[in-house]
């Protein structure tokens, strides 16, 4: 993947932004030509639909399996971490949905007339049927349908089962891991074509819908950064409540946060983040457990954005967000955020999962993909900050003591000082 990206003269996010700008220009200057570009975008959407089910099934199965293994082997710290990650995920989803309900950035982009007829949302909720439909009577049929809730349910159960089997599950885990790697590669190929798809779909939308869509995208970016600021305030309150100094913590981890913002990559900031936490006195045993789990399962900035983006597109396509639809968004976003954590362009895949569930056309992804680079920088940085808060909170709740902070320069492994600073494990 790196070699593929290394040959790219223009970075993919810049290509996507260029596709958005050129699409607006062509849609405005050559509307008749732009209207004929719709099949190009349709092909891209079909390709995204093709990979969603196999990618989500393998990623969630392996993710839940790994989470189960960690929780069993690492006891109190892992259990507290996973509980906190779940609570933080739900809170982030409600913040995203609440901001959408307050500002409705998608109402200016009226795409309902251009959309194909979607799923009709019932006026009343049959809760019995809703929960029974989550249990697939035929998993193959469920995978071929448009409702991903049964697939998510089966994948979560299979992941838990594999995690409980120990070494007996290794052959199937290896197969799923290889399948997921292959699907990742296909995903990378498809996403590399996204600038062309963005150009085609945005030019078609601009020719048929006008400037309202573009203004709505600007509003979406503004609302998302307002949500990220709200998350920072919540994190500061948590840090203050457990006896930490929010400004001091923010200054100490500024390097990995800025690195995540600039690179839009959690993986790029992980080594620096771990090093900084150890220098702050967090035991290596805690860092090596909580932080990798957090990078996979605690991405509050991204999760808040998933909910906001789905609400934005639901408004744009005039899909009513009643309690039945909102509950579906909460459930699917919670699971999708765990399954797409390490997926290339996983945000788009996670949003596609939720859109499929509530009946919004998946081609709507191209509308937000053009500004995704601006959105991705902020949410990735907040993910790093939120996992710092998670480490601090888990240490407090698990009664783990700080160690003597390590000096900035690396110490020789044979020195007495290095031996004294060796991690003492969990208290």
What pLDDT is stored for residue 125 in this prediction? 43
Report helix angle 372-397 to 212-241, nearest 10.
20
pLDDT of 162 higher than 70:
yes
Average pLDDT, the chain: 77
Query: For the domain that residue 293 is a member of, what is the CATH number?
Result: 1.10.3860
Closest residue by Cα to residue 362 from 372, 376, 344, 348: 348
pLDDT of 288 higher than 80:
no
Say which residues have a Cβ less than 8 Å from residue 181's Cβ, sequence separation at least 6: none
What pLDDT is stored for residue 422 in this prediction? 39
Structural domain contains residue 419: no
Structurally, the chain folds into a number of domains equal to 1
Structural domain contains residue 96: yes
Structural domain contains residue 418: no
Show the domain range for 62.
Answer: 8-408
What pLDDT is stored for residue 126 in this prediction? 53
| Secondary structure (3-state) at 422 | coil
Give the burial class of 416: count Cβ atoms within 10 A of its Cβ; 0-12 exposed, 13-18 middle, 19 or more buried: exposed
pTM: 0.65
pLDDT of 114 higher than 60:
no
What pLDDT is stored for residue 94 in this prediction? 92
Structural domain contains residue 45: yes
What pLDDT is stored for residue 49 in this prediction? 74
Structural domain contains residue 334: yes
pLDDT of 283 higher than 60:
yes
Question: What is the largest distance, in Å, between two alpha-carbon atoms of the chain?
Answer: 76
Structural domain contains residue 199: yes
Percent of the chain at pLDDT exceeding 70:
76
Q: Are 346 and 223 in contact (CB under 8 A)?
A: no
Structural domain contains residue 416: no
Residues 377, 305: Cα–Cα separation, whole Å:
12
Closest residue by Cα to residue 356 from 162, 148, 65: 148
Structural domain contains residue 427: no
What pLDDT is stored for residue 212 in this prediction? 66
Q: DSSP label at 119? A: P
Q: DSSP label at 124? A: S
Residues 163, 169: Cα–Cα separation, whole Å:
8
């Amino acid at each position: 993947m790196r070699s593929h990206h290394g040959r790219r003269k223009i970075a993919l996010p810049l290509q996507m932004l260029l596709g958005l700008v050129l699409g607006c220009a062509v849609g405005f200057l050559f509307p008749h030509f732009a209207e004929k570009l719709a099949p190009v975008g349709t092909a891209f959407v079909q390709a995204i639909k093709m990979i969603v089910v196999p990618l989500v099934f393998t990623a969630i199965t392996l993710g839940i399996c790994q989470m189960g293994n960690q929780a069993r082997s690492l006891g109190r710290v892992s259990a507290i971490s996973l509980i906190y990650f779940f609570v933080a995920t739900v809170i982030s989803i409600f913040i995203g949905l609440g901001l959408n309900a307050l500002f409705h950035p998608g109402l200016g982009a009226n795409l309902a007339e251009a959309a194909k007829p979607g799923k009709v949302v019932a006026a009343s909720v049959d809760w019995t049927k809703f929960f029974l439909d989550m249990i697939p009577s035929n998993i193959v049929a469920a995978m071929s349908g448009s409702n991903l809730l049964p697939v998510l349910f089966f994948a979560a159960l299979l992941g838990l089962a594999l995690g409980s089997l120990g070494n007996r599950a290794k052959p199937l885990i290896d197969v799923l891991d290889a399948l997921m790697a292959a699907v990742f590669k296909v995903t990378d190929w498809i996403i590399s074509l996204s600038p062309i798809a963005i150009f085609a779909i945005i030019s078609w939308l601009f020719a048929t819908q006008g400037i309202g869509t573009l203004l709505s995208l600007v509003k979406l970016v503004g609302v998302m950064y307002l949500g990220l600021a709200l998350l920072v305030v919540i994190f500061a309150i948590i840090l203050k409540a457990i006896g930490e100094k929010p400004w001091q913590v923010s200054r100490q981890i500024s390097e990995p946060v800025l690195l995540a913002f600039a690179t839009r990559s959690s993986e790029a900031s992980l080594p620096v983040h771990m090093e900084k936490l150890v220098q702050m006195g967090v035991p290596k045993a805690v860092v090596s457990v909580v932080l990798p789990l957090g990078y996979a399962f605690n991405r509050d900035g991204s999760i808040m954005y998933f909910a906001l983006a789905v609400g934005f597109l639901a408004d744009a396509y005039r899909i009513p967000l009643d309690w039945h639809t909102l509950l579906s968004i909460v459930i699917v976003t919670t699971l999708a955020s765990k399954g797409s954590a390490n997926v290339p362009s996983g945000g788009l895949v996670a949003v596609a999962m939720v859109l499929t569930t509530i009946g919004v056309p998946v081609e709507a992804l191209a509308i937000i993909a053009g500004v995704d680079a601006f959105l991705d920088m902020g949410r990735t940085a907040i993910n790093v900050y939120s996992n710092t808060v998670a480490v601090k909170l888990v240490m407090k709740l698990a009664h783990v003591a700080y160690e003597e902070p390590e000096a900035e320069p690396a110490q020789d492994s044979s020195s007495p000082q290095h031996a004294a600073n060796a991690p003492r494990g969990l208290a």
